Structure 1
């Protein structure tokens, strides 16, 4: 249990590290959101599926990996690295940048983290955000260039 808490805190710290680079305040962990994310991570890991929760009222990022690519640092960095494809001048949603924009979305204040291991040893990471991000017409007020 302590190891799980340390890992969740690491995911929070990684989020806040990247958010600070984009002039955005830190997220805070939310126990209800943690439970919500953990429930979905467990489901994905047990079924071997990889899809977003339907009818989700929160923002959601999913990642899966194994070995070096299954570390929290690698998984969260994968979301952040979408910054390379984001057009700050345009400021809209793209399927290739949605993880990045949710990660640094200024309006999101709370984070829930769920981590589970699949039958094949893969790590599943689910992060839920409240309020959710990636709203059309709001990107330029919520996603900022790296300072």
Structure 2
């Protein structure tokens, strides 16, 4: 006759719970596929997308690579969830919004993130033609004095807005667009 210890019984139930939990669908994974769910700013692939795409653009303008900052991402999420333009913080900020009619059943967040960043980068032409005051998204994007970034989409579609839009923010630190310092910080 085999004697089973309490330790073995506890381990058996702990194992059974782990196996049962592993078989359950992951609700957070399911939510990412839904139209009303955007990537979390803490998602590693979302962070890597932003860093690689933005740092590639910065490299073209002789600016150093940015590093991800979770606190800036939290600030960006707070602003994005406000569902409006909000340039009130202590950081450099770029904002972007979009909506689609009719609303799609799913959203390609990689493409939308790149679209947002591309819209800022396209302001280079305005900067190069001497219209700096119309190119602040571009200049913040490539500002050499900035070293950290955090980005976020609204957690859910903005129901209170007429177009039911989505907002995307990136916060930069130190902030850019400091008057009198464009020449040394922006290479067009």
| TM-score of the pair, normalised by structure 2 | 0.65
**CA distance in 2 between partners of 1:42 and 1:52 (Å):** 10
Q: Displacement, 1:104?
A: 0.2
Could you tell me which residue of structure 2 aligns to residue 129 of structure 1? 172
1:69-108 to 2 correspondences below 5 Å: 71-87=112-128, 93-94=132-133, 96-108=134-146
Q: Displacement, 1:13?
A: 1.8
* 8 Å Cα contact 2:67/2:148 also seen in 1: yes
Could you tell me which residue of structure 1 aligns to residue 151 of structure 2? 113
SS in 2 for 1:23: coil
Could you tell me which residue of structure 1 aligns to residue 98 of structure 2? 65
Relative CO higher for 1 or 2, CA cutoff 8 Å, sep ≥ 6?
1
Q: Displacement, 1:121?
A: 5.2
**CA distance in 2 between partners of 1:74 and 1:12 (Å):** 15
Moved over 4 A (4+): 67-70
Aligned residues: 136
SS in 2 for 1:101: helix
* 8 Å Cα contact 1:93/1:136 also seen in 2: no
Instruction: Summarize the Cα distance change of 1:86–1:93 in structure 2 as closer, same or farther, 3 Å threshold.
Output: closer
Could you tell me which residue of structure 1 aligns to residue 3 of structure 2? none
Pick the structure with greater CA Rg: 2
* 8 Å Cα contact 1:115/1:125 also seen in 2: yes
Matched, 1:141 2:184: yes
**CA distance in 2 between partners of 1:73 and 1:66 (Å):** 15
Give the gaps of 5 or more residues in structure 2: 1-27, 30-38, 101-107
**CA distance in 2 between partners of 1:115 and 1:8 (Å):** 12
Instruction: Summarize the Cα distance change of 1:9–1:123 in structure 2 as closer, same or farther, 3 Å threshold.
Output: farther
Give the gaps of 5 or more residues in structure 1: 45-49
